[in-house]
Amino acid sequence: MNTAIAKHHTALLRQMLRIRKFEEICVELYSATRIRGFLHLYIGEEAVAVGVMNTLDASDALVTTYREHGHALARGVPMEAVMAEMFGRTTGCSRGRGGSMHLFDVKRRLYGGNAIVGGGLPLATGIALADRLRNESHVTACFFGDGAVAEGEFHECMNLAALWKLPVLFCCENNLYAMGTSLVRAQAQTDLALRASSYGMPAWAVDGMDVLAVEQAAQRAVETIRAGGGPCFLELRTYRFRAHSMYDSDRYRDKAEIARWKERDPIEALTVRMRDAGELTDDALKALHREVDDELQRAVAGAEAGPLEAVEDLTRFVYAEES
């Protein structure tokens, strides 16, 4: 066993567990009506956020979607700040103004969950333009789903980013469904990497259930981008184990299909791999669970104790405030 590799794998496993368990608690809190709004779960897709985020520097930027708890946590936004946002508290990472779909942390260059499908791509393209014009070597990672590939904004941004050779890592989380519409029912060409490559950028598909494969692909893409090679596109083939949101009765997916994908659970897959390599003992796994459970417990307690914004402050943050 290589200790450095074991340590690295443990870190990946910890991040995926944090996301999984965070969302499992969110389901409980939601069912108990302690948190509200829309809740789009990432369960099953954790390897994508964790694998990509691990290849970014702190100075790289991040734009994501409304299914972004995983991205925010993997980026390093404190769990309590994310949870406080779910509770609508001023201690939330968006002061309770954004909620589940709009997690921001500009200190960590997280420019938000964007809840208009495709709407984050122009923003990411512009952040990358600013970095390029200032000769910075930062990368902007932009996450979106397969549904976004049908949007005009996707194609406008592929063209613009490739034309201007902007440092954008386009991360398409292909979970096969745009809410309830399957990829094959919505898109004439379902090979999404092929479509991106038509804009003249490196693009390839990756097994999004394998965190190490995601990490390796992202690493290669980030290196290309940082070297000035322009944007790259990753089609991360993944699956959400839960419905689109808490309102969704999931009538459009075959139960056998869901079961097949669950057999490829990214957390389970890494756990097995680590056990086989002698990198993870039962005790270590238990300790990891305990550690994450403790963090969660503190996050929920801290979040719920956070203050609510005074109603008199309702119209703050519409315009800049005098400093």
Closest residue by Cα to residue 43 from 65, 63, 25: 25
Is 92 among the residues that bind other proteins (CB under 8 A)?
A: yes
Name the DSSP class of 312: G
Spatial contact of 212 and 243, defined as CB atoms under 8 Å apart: no
Closer of 17 and 160 to other proteins (Cβ)? 160
Closer of 9 and 108 to other proteins (Cβ)? 108
Is 133 among the residues that bind other proteins (CB under 8 A)?
A: yes
In the chain, DSSP finds a helix count (H) and a strand count (E) of 12, 8
Containing H/E element for 232? strand 232-237
Phi and psi angles of residue 69, each rounded to the nearest 5 degrees, phi first = -55, -40
Site for other proteins in 48-87 (CB under 8 A): 61, 63
Give the one residue of 44, 51, 70, 122 binding other proteins; rule: CB under 8 A: 122
Is 36 among the residues that bind other proteins (CB under 8 A)?
A: no
Closer of 96 and 266 to other proteins (Cβ)? 96
Please report where in the chains the tokens 């005074």 appear, as a residue. 310
Closer of 81 and 211 to other proteins (Cβ)? 81
Shortest Cβ 151–other proteins spacing (Å): 9
Is 170 among the residues that bind other proteins (CB under 8 A)?
A: no
Is 255 among the residues that bind other proteins (CB under 8 A)?
A: no
Closer of 185 and 316 to other proteins (Cβ)? 316
The alpha carbon of residue 308 and the mean position of all alpha carbons in its chain are separated, in whole angstroms, by 27
Q: Looking at 27-35, 66-74, 89-97, 191-199, which segment touches other proteins (CB under 8 A)?
A: 89-97
Please report where in the chains the tokens 């999931």 appear, as a residue. 250
User: Cα–Cα distance between 70 and 53 in angstroms, integer?
Assistant: 10
Containing H/E element for 184? helix 183-186
Please report where in the chains the tokens 């450095």 appear, as a residue. 4
Give the one residue of 157, 196, 267, 292 binding other proteins; rule: CB under 8 A: 157
Binding site for other proteins (CB under 8 A): 61, 63, 90, 92-98, 102, 104-106, 111-112, 114, 116, 119, 121-131, 133-134, 152-153, 156-157, 159-160, 163, 316-321
